[in-house]
Chains A and B, each alone.
Chain A
Protein backbone atom coordinates (compact mmCIF):
# COMPACT_ATOMS: atom_id res chain seq x y z
CA UNK A 1 0.00 0.00 0.00
CA UNK A 2 2.82 2.39 0.91
CA UNK A 3 4.66 1.66 -2.35
CA UNK A 4 1.45 2.20 -4.32
CA UNK A 5 0.85 5.57 -2.70
CA UNK A 6 4.49 6.58 -3.32
CA UNK A 7 4.17 5.56 -6.96
CA UNK A 8 0.94 7.52 -7.34
CA UNK A 9 2.56 10.61 -5.83
CA UNK A 10 5.87 10.33 -7.67
CA UNK A 11 4.78 9.11 -11.08
CA UNK A 12 1.23 10.34 -11.48
CA UNK A 13 1.57 13.59 -9.54
CA UNK A 14 -1.01 12.74 -6.89
CA UNK A 15 -1.23 15.26 -4.06
CA UNK A 16 -3.37 16.35 -1.08
CA UNK A 17 -3.28 12.99 0.68
CA UNK A 18 -6.06 12.58 3.22
CA UNK A 19 -5.98 9.42 5.34
CA UNK A 20 -9.64 9.16 6.28
CA UNK A 21 -9.42 5.71 7.86
CA UNK A 22 -6.87 2.89 8.01
CA UNK A 23 -8.44 1.43 4.89
CA UNK A 24 -9.40 4.59 2.98
CA UNK A 25 -7.04 7.16 1.45
CA UNK A 26 -8.05 10.15 -0.68
CA UNK A 27 -5.66 11.58 -3.27
CA UNK A 28 -6.07 14.32 -5.84
CA UNK A 29 -4.76 13.84 -9.38
CA UNK A 30 -4.85 15.95 -12.52
CA UNK A 31 -7.40 15.15 -15.17
CA UNK A 32 -4.64 14.24 -17.64
CA UNK A 33 -3.12 11.65 -15.28
CA UNK A 34 -6.37 10.03 -14.24
CA UNK A 35 -6.71 7.23 -16.79
CA UNK A 36 -3.06 6.19 -16.52
CA UNK A 37 -3.25 6.25 -12.70
CA UNK A 38 -6.38 4.09 -12.72
CA UNK A 39 -4.81 1.71 -15.26
CA UNK A 40 -1.80 1.35 -12.97
CA UNK A 41 -4.02 0.78 -9.94
CA UNK A 42 -6.09 -1.86 -11.69
CA UNK A 43 -3.48 -3.75 -13.66
CA UNK A 44 -0.42 -3.54 -11.44
CA UNK A 45 -1.36 -2.60 -7.90
CA UNK A 46 -4.31 -5.01 -7.59
CA UNK A 47 -7.07 -2.43 -7.09
CA UNK A 48 -9.42 -4.32 -9.37
CA UNK A 49 -12.81 -3.39 -7.99
CA UNK A 50 -14.36 -0.05 -8.96
CA UNK A 51 -16.52 0.66 -5.94
CA UNK A 52 -18.11 3.79 -7.30
CA UNK A 53 -17.61 6.86 -9.36
CA UNK A 54 -19.30 10.00 -8.14
CA UNK A 55 -19.56 13.69 -8.89
CA UNK A 56 -19.95 16.53 -6.44
CA UNK A 57 -20.79 20.05 -7.55
CA UNK A 58 -18.77 22.86 -5.95
CA UNK A 59 -20.76 25.72 -7.40
CA UNK A 60 -18.97 28.49 -5.47
CA UNK A 61 -15.56 27.44 -6.77
CA UNK A 62 -16.82 26.68 -10.27
CA UNK A 63 -15.60 23.08 -10.09
CA UNK A 64 -16.93 19.57 -10.45
CA UNK A 65 -15.26 17.01 -8.23
CA UNK A 66 -15.01 13.48 -9.57
CA UNK A 67 -14.20 10.69 -7.14
CA UNK A 68 -13.01 7.36 -8.49
CA UNK A 69 -13.15 4.91 -5.64
CA UNK A 70 -11.20 1.66 -6.15
CA UNK A 71 -10.73 -1.26 -3.80
CA UNK A 72 -8.22 -4.06 -3.47
CA UNK A 73 -9.66 -7.31 -2.19
CA UNK A 74 -6.22 -8.74 -1.37
CA UNK A 75 -4.94 -5.73 0.57
CA UNK A 76 -8.37 -4.86 2.01
CA UNK A 77 -7.69 -1.18 1.25
CA UNK A 78 -9.47 1.55 -0.68
CA UNK A 79 -8.03 4.44 -2.65
CA UNK A 80 -10.24 7.29 -3.81
CA UNK A 81 -8.85 9.52 -6.54
CA UNK A 82 -10.29 13.00 -6.73
CA UNK A 83 -10.22 14.98 -9.95
CA UNK A 84 -11.39 18.57 -10.24
CA UNK A 85 -12.60 19.93 -13.56
CA UNK A 86 -14.11 23.25 -14.54
CA UNK A 87 -17.84 23.53 -14.36
CA UNK A 88 -18.36 25.12 -17.75
CA UNK A 89 -18.51 22.75 -20.67
CA UNK A 90 -15.55 20.60 -19.83
CA UNK A 91 -15.46 16.95 -20.90
CA UNK A 92 -14.13 14.04 -18.90
CA UNK A 93 -12.18 11.00 -20.01
CA UNK A 94 -14.07 7.75 -20.14
CA UNK A 95 -12.84 4.69 -18.24
CA UNK A 96 -15.25 2.14 -19.72
CA UNK A 97 -12.30 0.28 -21.22
CA UNK A 98 -11.02 -0.49 -17.72
CA UNK A 99 -14.35 -1.28 -16.08
CA UNK A 100 -17.38 -1.94 -18.34
CA UNK A 101 -19.62 -1.01 -15.44
CA UNK A 102 -18.26 2.55 -15.52
CA UNK A 103 -20.33 3.02 -18.67
CA UNK A 104 -23.48 3.22 -16.56
CA UNK A 105 -21.97 5.72 -14.14
CA UNK A 106 -20.87 7.89 -17.05
CA UNK A 107 -24.28 7.72 -18.68
CA UNK A 108 -25.91 8.74 -15.41
CA UNK A 109 -23.52 11.61 -14.75
CA UNK A 110 -23.94 12.94 -18.26
CA UNK A 111 -27.66 13.14 -17.66
CA UNK A 112 -27.56 14.40 -14.08
CA UNK A 113 -24.66 16.89 -14.35
CA UNK A 114 -24.35 17.52 -18.08
CA UNK A 115 -20.72 16.36 -18.27
CA UNK A 116 -19.86 14.65 -21.53
CA UNK A 117 -17.67 11.57 -21.79
CA UNK A 118 -16.54 11.38 -25.43
CA UNK A 119 -15.96 7.80 -26.57
CA UNK A 120 -18.18 6.10 -24.04
CA UNK A 121 -20.68 3.80 -25.79
CA UNK A 122 -24.41 4.49 -25.29
CA UNK A 123 -23.57 7.58 -23.25
CA UNK A 124 -26.13 9.65 -25.13
CA UNK A 125 -29.06 7.37 -24.31
CA UNK A 126 -31.50 8.42 -21.65
CA UNK A 127 -30.81 6.90 -18.28
CA UNK A 128 -33.54 7.93 -15.85
CA UNK A 129 -35.07 11.05 -17.35
CA UNK A 130 -36.93 10.81 -20.62
CA UNK A 131 -37.39 13.90 -22.75
CA UNK A 132 -35.70 16.20 -20.23
CA UNK A 133 -34.97 19.61 -21.69
CA UNK A 134 -34.10 21.61 -18.58
CA UNK A 135 -30.75 22.12 -16.90
CA UNK A 136 -29.27 18.78 -15.69
CA UNK A 137 -31.10 18.30 -12.39
CA UNK A 138 -28.27 17.35 -10.03
CA UNK A 139 -26.43 20.62 -10.59
CA UNK A 140 -26.51 22.88 -7.54
CA UNK A 141 -28.05 25.78 -9.45
CA UNK A 142 -31.06 23.75 -10.57
CA UNK A 143 -33.98 25.09 -8.54
CA UNK A 144 -36.42 22.27 -7.84
CA UNK A 145 -39.09 24.59 -6.43
CA UNK A 146 -39.02 26.85 -9.46
CA UNK A 147 -39.19 23.85 -11.77
CA UNK A 148 -42.19 22.31 -10.05
CA UNK A 149 -44.02 25.68 -9.95
CA UNK A 150 -43.44 26.07 -13.66
CA UNK A 151 -44.25 22.52 -14.72
CA UNK A 152 -47.18 21.45 -12.60
CA UNK A 153 -50.59 23.02 -12.58
CA UNK A 154 -50.96 25.31 -9.58
CA UNK A 155 -53.60 24.13 -7.14
CA UNK A 156 -55.38 26.05 -4.43
CA UNK A 157 -53.88 25.59 -1.05
CA UNK A 158 -55.76 24.07 1.86
CA UNK A 159 -58.30 26.30 3.49
CA UNK A 160 -58.60 26.47 7.25
CA UNK A 161 -61.84 27.08 9.11
CA UNK A 162 -62.67 27.96 12.64
CA UNK A 163 -64.11 24.64 13.89
CA UNK A 164 -66.84 26.21 16.00
CA UNK A 165 -68.20 28.39 13.20
CA UNK A 166 -67.75 25.67 10.62
CA UNK A 167 -69.67 23.04 12.61
CA UNK A 168 -72.45 25.50 13.33
CA UNK A 169 -72.83 26.19 9.66
CA UNK A 170 -72.78 22.53 8.74
CA UNK A 171 -75.06 21.15 11.42
CA UNK A 172 -77.70 23.84 11.81
CA UNK A 173 -79.30 25.15 8.69
CA UNK A 174 -80.63 28.69 8.33
CA UNK A 175 -84.25 27.75 9.18
CA UNK A 176 -83.41 26.26 12.54
CA UNK A 177 -81.80 29.47 13.67
Chain B
Protein backbone atom coordinates (compact mmCIF):
# COMPACT_ATOMS: atom_id res chain seq x y z
CA UNK B 1 0.00 0.00 0.00
CA UNK B 2 1.35 3.38 -0.96
CA UNK B 3 1.53 5.64 2.03
CA UNK B 4 1.58 9.03 0.38
CA UNK B 5 1.68 12.09 2.52
CA UNK B 6 2.02 15.52 1.00
CA UNK B 7 4.95 17.66 2.00
CA UNK B 8 3.56 20.78 3.68
CA UNK B 9 6.90 22.14 4.88
CA UNK B 10 7.30 24.58 1.99
CA UNK B 11 3.74 24.95 0.89
CA UNK B 12 1.76 27.12 1.34
CA UNK B 13 4.28 29.88 1.86
CA UNK B 14 3.46 32.05 4.84
CA UNK B 15 3.79 35.75 5.61
CA UNK B 16 5.39 36.72 8.94
CA UNK B 17 1.90 37.25 10.46
CA UNK B 18 0.84 33.68 9.61
CA UNK B 19 -1.38 34.47 6.62
CA UNK B 20 -0.83 32.76 3.28
CA UNK B 21 1.60 34.48 0.93
CA UNK B 22 -0.13 35.33 -2.30
CA UNK B 23 1.65 36.64 -5.36
CA UNK B 24 -0.74 36.79 -8.27
CA UNK B 25 2.07 37.61 -10.72
CA UNK B 26 3.84 34.33 -9.99
CA UNK B 27 1.28 32.45 -12.15
CA UNK B 28 0.82 29.91 -9.37
CA UNK B 29 -2.53 31.29 -8.28
CA UNK B 30 -5.91 31.52 -9.90
CA UNK B 31 -8.80 33.72 -8.84
CA UNK B 32 -12.20 32.14 -9.27
CA UNK B 33 -15.65 33.34 -8.39
CA UNK B 34 -18.24 31.14 -6.82
CA UNK B 35 -21.54 32.96 -7.19
CA UNK B 36 -23.53 35.18 -7.24
CA UNK B 37 -25.47 32.65 -9.34
CA UNK B 38 -24.24 29.23 -8.36
CA UNK B 39 -25.97 26.09 -7.15
CA UNK B 40 -23.42 25.76 -4.37
CA UNK B 41 -24.17 29.13 -2.83
CA UNK B 42 -27.10 29.81 -0.51
CA UNK B 43 -29.03 32.74 -1.93
CA UNK B 44 -27.20 35.38 -3.93
CA UNK B 45 -23.76 36.11 -2.68
CA UNK B 46 -20.36 35.77 -4.28
CA UNK B 47 -17.16 34.22 -3.01
CA UNK B 48 -13.95 35.53 -4.48
CA UNK B 49 -11.54 32.63 -4.06
CA UNK B 50 -7.79 32.71 -4.67
CA UNK B 51 -6.73 29.13 -5.25
CA UNK B 52 -3.51 27.26 -5.75
CA UNK B 53 -4.24 23.84 -7.18
CA UNK B 54 -7.54 23.00 -5.55
CA UNK B 55 -6.65 24.56 -2.24
CA UNK B 56 -8.08 27.93 -1.25
CA UNK B 57 -5.50 30.47 -0.18
CA UNK B 58 -7.76 33.43 0.38
CA UNK B 59 -11.48 34.01 0.35
CA UNK B 60 -13.56 37.16 0.32
CA UNK B 61 -17.32 37.31 0.61
CA UNK B 62 -19.12 39.82 -1.57
CA UNK B 63 -22.70 40.75 -0.80
CA UNK B 64 -25.09 43.35 -2.12
CA UNK B 65 -27.01 41.42 -4.75
CA UNK B 66 -30.17 41.44 -2.63
CA UNK B 67 -29.87 44.85 -1.06
CA UNK B 68 -33.21 46.63 -0.92
CA UNK B 69 -32.56 48.83 2.09
CA UNK B 70 -35.15 47.34 4.43
CA UNK B 71 -33.86 49.33 7.40
CA UNK B 72 -34.06 52.58 5.50
CA UNK B 73 -37.50 51.74 4.08
CA UNK B 74 -38.82 51.06 7.57
CA UNK B 75 -37.74 54.50 8.77
CA UNK B 76 -40.22 56.09 6.39
CA UNK B 77 -43.20 53.90 7.24
CA UNK B 78 -45.68 53.60 10.08
CA UNK B 79 -45.21 50.66 12.41
CA UNK B 80 -47.89 48.50 10.82
CA UNK B 81 -46.51 49.26 7.37
CA UNK B 82 -43.15 47.83 8.43
CA UNK B 83 -44.55 44.30 8.61
CA UNK B 84 -44.79 43.58 4.87
CA UNK B 85 -41.16 44.77 4.61
CA UNK B 86 -39.57 43.07 7.59
CA UNK B 87 -40.67 39.58 6.55
CA UNK B 88 -38.62 39.88 3.36
CA UNK B 89 -35.46 39.92 5.47
CA UNK B 90 -35.61 36.13 5.65
CA UNK B 91 -37.71 34.33 3.07
CA UNK B 92 -37.64 30.74 4.42
CA UNK B 93 -38.42 31.83 7.99
CA UNK B 94 -40.28 35.15 7.96
CA UNK B 95 -42.10 34.69 11.27
CA UNK B 96 -39.03 35.40 13.36
CA UNK B 97 -38.89 38.89 11.83
CA UNK B 98 -42.56 39.52 12.55
CA UNK B 99 -42.19 38.43 16.13
CA UNK B 100 -39.03 40.48 16.82
CA UNK B 101 -40.55 43.64 15.37
CA UNK B 102 -43.85 43.12 17.20
CA UNK B 103 -42.10 42.26 20.50
CA UNK B 104 -39.88 45.33 20.33
CA UNK B 105 -42.86 47.60 19.59
CA UNK B 106 -44.90 45.98 22.38
CA UNK B 107 -42.11 46.37 24.89
CA UNK B 108 -41.65 50.07 24.13
CA UNK B 109 -45.40 50.68 23.93
CA UNK B 110 -46.23 48.71 27.09
CA UNK B 111 -48.74 46.46 25.33
CA UNK B 112 -49.84 43.23 27.05
CA UNK B 113 -50.48 40.30 24.75
CA UNK B 114 -53.32 37.84 25.56
CA UNK B 115 -52.25 34.39 26.74
CA UNK B 116 -53.76 32.57 23.76
CA UNK B 117 -51.86 34.81 21.34
CA UNK B 118 -48.58 33.81 22.98
CA UNK B 119 -49.36 30.14 22.33
CA UNK B 120 -50.31 30.85 18.73
CA UNK B 121 -47.15 32.88 18.19
CA UNK B 122 -45.03 30.02 19.51
CA UNK B 123 -46.90 27.66 17.22
CA UNK B 124 -46.17 29.83 14.18
CA UNK B 125 -42.52 30.24 15.14
CA UNK B 126 -42.01 26.51 15.61
CA UNK B 127 -43.78 25.70 12.34
CA UNK B 128 -41.48 28.17 10.57
CA UNK B 129 -38.47 26.56 12.19
CA UNK B 130 -39.68 23.14 11.08
CA UNK B 131 -40.23 24.28 7.49
CA UNK B 132 -36.85 25.98 7.37
CA UNK B 133 -34.99 22.97 8.74
CA UNK B 134 -36.69 20.73 6.20
CA UNK B 135 -35.57 23.02 3.41
CA UNK B 136 -32.07 23.13 4.84
CA UNK B 137 -31.83 19.31 5.05
CA UNK B 138 -32.51 19.15 1.33
CA UNK B 139 -29.97 21.91 0.69
CA UNK B 140 -27.22 20.20 2.64
CA UNK B 141 -27.72 16.96 0.75
CA UNK B 142 -28.03 18.81 -2.55
CA UNK B 143 -24.67 20.50 -1.96
CA UNK B 144 -23.12 17.01 -1.89
CA UNK B 145 -24.96 15.78 -4.95
CA UNK B 146 -27.75 13.87 -3.21
CA UNK B 147 -30.73 15.60 -4.75
CA UNK B 148 -33.22 12.91 -3.76
CA UNK B 149 -33.34 13.97 -0.13
CA UNK B 150 -34.12 17.50 -1.24
CA UNK B 151 -37.18 16.26 -3.10
CA UNK B 152 -38.44 14.40 -0.04
CA UNK B 153 -37.94 17.31 2.31
CA UNK B 154 -39.54 19.78 -0.09
CA UNK B 155 -42.76 17.76 -0.24
CA UNK B 156 -42.77 17.59 3.56
CA UNK B 157 -42.20 21.34 3.73
CA UNK B 158 -45.10 21.81 1.37
CA UNK B 159 -47.38 20.08 3.88
CA UNK B 160 -46.21 22.52 6.57
CA UNK B 161 -46.91 25.39 4.18
CA UNK B 162 -50.43 24.00 3.66
CA UNK B 163 -50.98 24.18 7.40
CA UNK B 164 -49.61 27.74 7.37
CA UNK B 165 -52.11 28.59 4.69
CA UNK B 166 -54.91 27.29 6.92
CA UNK B 167 -53.68 29.13 9.96
CA UNK B 168 -52.61 32.46 8.48
CA UNK B 169 -53.89 32.69 4.91
CA UNK B 170 -50.40 32.85 3.42
CA UNK B 171 -47.99 30.12 2.45
CA UNK B 172 -44.59 31.78 2.47
CA UNK B 173 -45.16 35.27 3.91
CA UNK B 174 -47.67 35.18 6.72
CA UNK B 175 -47.77 38.56 8.50
CA UNK B 176 -49.51 36.60 11.23
CA UNK B 177 -47.83 38.08 14.29
CA UNK B 178 -48.63 41.78 14.67
CA UNK B 179 -48.35 44.09 17.70
CA UNK B 180 -51.04 43.17 20.23
CA UNK B 181 -51.41 39.53 19.27
CA UNK B 182 -52.00 37.43 16.19
CA UNK B 183 -54.40 37.83 13.29
CA UNK B 184 -56.47 34.67 13.51
CA UNK B 185 -57.35 31.69 15.66
CA UNK B 186 -56.72 28.06 14.75
CA UNK B 187 -59.35 26.70 12.34
CA UNK B 188 -61.51 23.66 13.17
CA UNK B 189 -59.73 20.34 12.73
CA UNK B 190 -56.32 22.01 12.49
CA UNK B 191 -54.89 19.92 15.32
CA UNK B 192 -55.75 16.64 13.61
CA UNK B 193 -54.33 17.66 10.25
CA UNK B 194 -51.19 19.12 11.81
CA UNK B 195 -50.59 15.93 13.76
CA UNK B 196 -50.88 13.89 10.56
CA UNK B 197 -48.21 16.06 8.96
CA UNK B 198 -45.98 15.75 12.03
CA UNK B 199 -46.32 11.96 12.01
CA UNK B 200 -45.31 11.83 8.38
CA UNK B 201 -42.34 14.14 8.93
CA UNK B 202 -41.17 12.10 11.89
CA UNK B 203 -41.42 8.83 9.98
CA UNK B 204 -39.55 10.10 6.93
CA UNK B 205 -36.91 11.89 8.97
CA UNK B 206 -36.25 8.92 11.23
CA UNK B 207 -36.28 6.24 8.58
CA UNK B 208 -35.63 7.29 4.99
CA UNK B 209 -33.68 10.48 5.49
CA UNK B 210 -31.68 9.09 8.38
CA UNK B 211 -30.54 6.15 6.29
CA UNK B 212 -30.00 8.17 3.14
CA UNK B 213 -28.13 10.97 4.88
CA UNK B 214 -26.49 9.99 8.15
CA UNK B 215 -25.80 6.34 7.34
CA UNK B 216 -24.54 7.19 3.89
CA UNK B 217 -20.86 6.53 3.18
CA UNK B 218 -20.65 9.44 0.72
CA UNK B 219 -22.18 11.87 3.18
CA UNK B 220 -19.95 10.69 6.01
CA UNK B 221 -16.75 10.85 3.95
CA UNK B 222 -17.53 14.34 2.72
CA UNK B 223 -18.61 15.79 6.08
CA UNK B 224 -16.90 14.13 9.04
CA UNK B 225 -13.97 16.35 10.06
CA UNK B 226 -14.69 18.88 7.29
CA UNK B 227 -15.65 22.49 7.95
CA UNK B 228 -14.36 22.55 11.51
CA UNK B 229 -15.04 25.63 13.67
CA UNK B 230 -12.74 25.90 16.66
CA UNK B 231 -14.95 26.33 19.77
CA UNK B 232 -12.36 28.76 21.16
CA UNK B 233 -13.04 31.34 18.45
CA UNK B 234 -16.81 31.03 18.59
CA UNK B 235 -17.40 33.89 21.03
CA UNK B 236 -14.99 36.16 19.15
CA UNK B 237 -16.72 35.53 15.86
CA UNK B 238 -20.25 35.78 17.28
CA UNK B 239 -21.26 32.21 16.42
CA UNK B 240 -24.71 31.32 17.71
CA UNK B 241 -27.44 28.74 17.19
CA UNK B 242 -26.84 25.22 15.88
CA UNK B 243 -23.36 26.18 14.64
CA UNK B 244 -22.31 26.98 18.21
CA UNK B 245 -24.20 24.08 19.75
CA UNK B 246 -22.44 21.61 17.43
CA UNK B 247 -19.16 22.75 18.98
CA UNK B 248 -20.30 22.35 22.57
CA UNK B 249 -21.16 26.02 23.21
CA UNK B 250 -24.72 25.45 24.32
CA UNK B 251 -26.55 28.64 23.47
CA UNK B 252 -30.25 28.65 22.89
CA UNK B 253 -32.33 31.77 23.43
CA UNK B 254 -35.39 29.58 24.06
CA UNK B 255 -33.72 28.22 27.22
CA UNK B 256 -31.44 31.10 28.21
CA UNK B 257 -33.95 33.95 27.89
CA UNK B 258 -37.34 32.20 27.73
CA UNK B 259 -39.77 34.26 25.65
CA UNK B 260 -43.45 33.60 24.89
CA UNK B 261 -44.34 30.26 26.49
CA UNK B 262 -41.11 28.31 26.07
CA UNK B 263 -40.76 28.00 29.86
CA UNK B 264 -44.01 25.99 29.93
CA UNK B 265 -42.82 23.48 27.34
CA UNK B 266 -40.62 20.50 27.93
CA UNK B 267 -37.63 20.19 25.62
CA UNK B 268 -33.91 19.52 25.56
CA UNK B 269 -31.48 21.58 23.52
CA UNK B 270 -29.76 19.49 20.85
CA UNK B 271 -25.98 19.77 20.89
CA UNK B 272 -22.80 18.00 19.82
CA UNK B 273 -19.09 18.43 20.28
CA UNK B 274 -17.18 17.71 17.06
CA UNK B 275 -18.05 21.00 15.38
CA UNK B 276 -17.84 19.65 11.82
CA UNK B 277 -20.45 19.53 9.05
CA UNK B 278 -21.74 16.12 10.14
CA UNK B 279 -22.28 17.23 13.73
CA UNK B 280 -24.01 20.40 12.61
CA UNK B 281 -26.31 18.33 10.40
CA UNK B 282 -27.06 16.00 13.30
CA UNK B 283 -27.77 18.92 15.66
CA UNK B 284 -30.18 20.40 13.11
CA UNK B 285 -31.92 17.07 12.63
CA UNK B 286 -32.37 16.70 16.39
CA UNK B 287 -33.58 20.28 16.58
CA UNK B 288 -36.12 19.51 13.86
CA UNK B 289 -37.45 16.60 15.88
CA UNK B 290 -37.55 18.85 18.98
CA UNK B 291 -39.65 21.25 16.94
CA UNK B 292 -42.04 18.43 16.05
CA UNK B 293 -42.40 17.55 19.73
CA UNK B 294 -42.90 21.21 20.68
CA UNK B 295 -45.70 21.65 18.14
CA UNK B 296 -47.42 18.54 19.52
CA UNK B 297 -47.13 19.91 23.05
CA UNK B 298 -48.46 23.32 22.00
CA UNK B 299 -51.47 21.80 20.24
CA UNK B 300 -52.26 19.60 23.24
CA UNK B 301 -51.86 22.24 25.93
CA UNK B 302 -53.17 25.34 24.14
CA UNK B 303 -55.88 27.16 26.13
CA UNK B 304 -59.31 27.28 24.57
CA UNK B 305 -60.11 30.97 25.11
CA UNK B 306 -60.97 33.06 22.09
CA UNK B 307 -59.14 36.29 22.83
CA UNK B 308 -56.15 36.57 20.50
CA UNK B 309 -55.68 40.33 20.19
CA UNK B 310 -55.18 43.04 22.79
CA UNK B 311 -57.35 46.13 22.55
CA UNK B 312 -55.42 48.44 20.25
CA UNK B 313 -56.16 51.87 18.78
CA UNK B 314 -56.46 52.42 15.04
CA UNK B 315 -53.32 51.02 13.44
CA UNK B 316 -52.65 54.20 11.50
CA UNK B 317 -52.58 56.28 14.69
CA UNK B 318 -50.03 54.28 16.66
CA UNK B 319 -47.31 56.25 18.38
CA UNK B 320 -44.64 54.33 20.23
CA UNK B 321 -43.08 56.16 23.21
CA UNK B 322 -39.48 57.27 23.01
CA UNK B 323 -36.96 54.57 23.87
CA UNK B 324 -34.70 51.82 22.68
CA UNK B 325 -34.87 48.10 23.06
CA UNK B 326 -33.56 44.85 21.66
CA UNK B 327 -35.86 41.88 21.09
CA UNK B 328 -34.21 38.54 20.44
CA UNK B 329 -35.33 35.04 19.59
CA UNK B 330 -33.79 31.75 18.57
CA UNK B 331 -34.33 31.42 14.84
CA UNK B 332 -33.32 28.22 13.10
CA UNK B 333 -29.98 29.77 12.14
CA UNK B 334 -29.10 31.28 15.51
CA UNK B 335 -29.75 34.35 17.56
CA UNK B 336 -32.00 36.73 15.67
CA UNK B 337 -32.84 40.16 16.96
CA UNK B 338 -34.26 43.59 16.23
CA UNK B 339 -32.83 46.72 17.79
CA UNK B 340 -35.52 49.38 17.71
CA UNK B 341 -35.08 53.06 18.39
CA UNK B 342 -38.23 55.11 18.72
CA UNK B 343 -38.33 58.90 18.96
CA UNK B 344 -41.97 59.05 20.08
CA UNK B 345 -43.40 59.65 16.62
CA UNK B 346 -45.54 57.41 14.43
CA UNK B 347 -42.46 56.22 12.55
CA UNK B 348 -39.55 54.18 13.90
CA UNK B 349 -36.38 56.23 14.17
CA UNK B 350 -34.17 53.31 13.32
CA UNK B 351 -34.52 49.55 13.20
CA UNK B 352 -31.40 47.41 13.01
CA UNK B 353 -31.65 43.72 12.23
CA UNK B 354 -29.20 41.33 13.84
CA UNK B 355 -29.17 38.32 11.56
CA UNK B 356 -27.10 35.30 12.55
CA UNK B 357 -25.75 35.06 8.99
CA UNK B 358 -24.15 38.47 9.35
CA UNK B 359 -21.38 37.00 11.45
CA UNK B 360 -21.48 33.45 10.07
CA UNK B 361 -21.21 34.22 6.38
CA UNK B 362 -18.80 37.11 6.50
CA UNK B 363 -15.86 37.00 8.88
CA UNK B 364 -16.25 33.41 10.08
CA UNK B 365 -16.76 31.87 6.65
CA UNK B 366 -13.82 33.81 5.18
CA UNK B 367 -11.63 32.39 7.93
CA UNK B 368 -12.98 28.84 7.60
CA UNK B 369 -12.27 28.59 3.89
CA UNK B 370 -8.55 29.22 4.11
CA UNK B 371 -6.68 26.01 3.19
CA UNK B 372 -9.98 24.24 2.45
CA UNK B 373 -10.68 22.37 -0.78
CA UNK B 374 -12.78 23.98 -3.52
CA UNK B 375 -15.10 20.97 -3.53
CA UNK B 376 -15.98 21.55 0.13
CA UNK B 377 -17.01 25.19 -0.24
CA UNK B 378 -20.66 24.48 -1.03
CA UNK B 379 -21.12 21.95 1.76
CA UNK B 380 -19.42 24.21 4.29
CA UNK B 381 -21.50 27.18 3.30
CA UNK B 382 -24.79 25.31 3.50
CA UNK B 383 -23.76 23.79 6.82
CA UNK B 384 -23.51 27.31 8.28
CA UNK B 385 -27.10 27.87 7.11
CA UNK B 386 -26.50 31.37 5.83
CA UNK B 387 -29.13 33.64 4.37
CA UNK B 388 -27.73 36.64 2.45
CA UNK B 389 -30.70 39.07 2.83
CA UNK B 390 -29.92 39.21 6.54
CA UNK B 391 -26.43 40.51 5.79
CA UNK B 392 -27.35 43.38 3.53
CA UNK B 393 -30.87 44.28 4.78
Q: Which residues of A contact B (CB under 8 A)?
A: 18, 20-21, 23-24, 26, 48-52, 54, 56-57, 65, 67, 69, 73, 76, 78, 80, 99-101, 103-104, 126-130, 137-138, 140, 144
Contact = CB atoms under 8 A, between A and B. Distances in A.
B324 A67 contact: yes
A113 to B, nearest CB: 11
B339 A101 contact: no
A125 B76 CA distance: 28
B324 A20 contact: yes
Contact of B257 (A67, A76, A100): A76
B238 interface: yes
A103 B363 contact: yes
Interface of B: 63-64, 67, 69, 71-72, 75-76, 107, 235-238, 240, 249, 251, 256-257, 323-326, 328, 335, 337, 339, 341, 349-350, 352, 354, 358-359, 362-364, 367, 392
| Residue from A18, A51, A65 whose CB has the most chain B CB atoms within 10 Å | A51
Given A49-B240, A101-B359, A137-B69, 11 more contacts: A18-B324, A20-B325, A48-B236, A50-B238, A51-B337, A65-B341, A69-B326, A99-B237, A101-B363, A129-B67, A138-B72
Contact of B392 (A78, A100, A128): A128
B236 A56 contact: no
Given A24-B325, A52-B339, A127-B63, A101 B362 contact: yes
Contacts of B256: 73, 76
19 contacts: A24-B326, A26-B324, A50-B238, A51-B328, A54-B352, A56-B349, A57-B350, A73-B256, A80-B324, A80-B326, A99-B237, A100-B363, A101-B237, A101-B363, A127-B63, A127-B64, A137-B72, A138-B71, A144-B72
Contacts of B249: 73
Contact of A56 (B64, B238, B341): B341
Given A20-B324, A76-B256, A144-B72, A51 B64 contact: no
B384 to A, nearest CB: 14
Nearest to B339: A54
Nearest 4 A-B pairs (CB), nearest first? A128-B64, A54-B352, A48-B235, A56-B350
A177 B301 CA distance: 72
Contacts of A23: 257
A98 B367 CA distance: 16
Given A20-B325, A23-B257, A128-B392, A100 B71 contact: no
Contact of A128 (B63, B107, B257, B350): B63
Nearest to A138: B72
Given A54-B352, A76-B256, A104-B363, A99 B238 contact: yes
Nearest to A125: B60
Contact of A52 (B325, B341, B349, B352): B352
Nearest to A59: B349
Given A56-B349, A138-B72, A101 B236 contact: yes
B257 A49 contact: no
Contact of B354 (A52, A80, A126): A52
Contacts of A48: 235-236
A80 B324 CA distance: 10
B17 to A, nearest CB: 11
A104 B71 CA distance: 17
A52 B64 contact: no
A127 B392 CA distance: 9
Contacts of A78: 326
B326 A104 contact: no
Contacts of A126: 64
A67 B72 contact: no
A51 B363 contact: no
A51 B63 contact: no
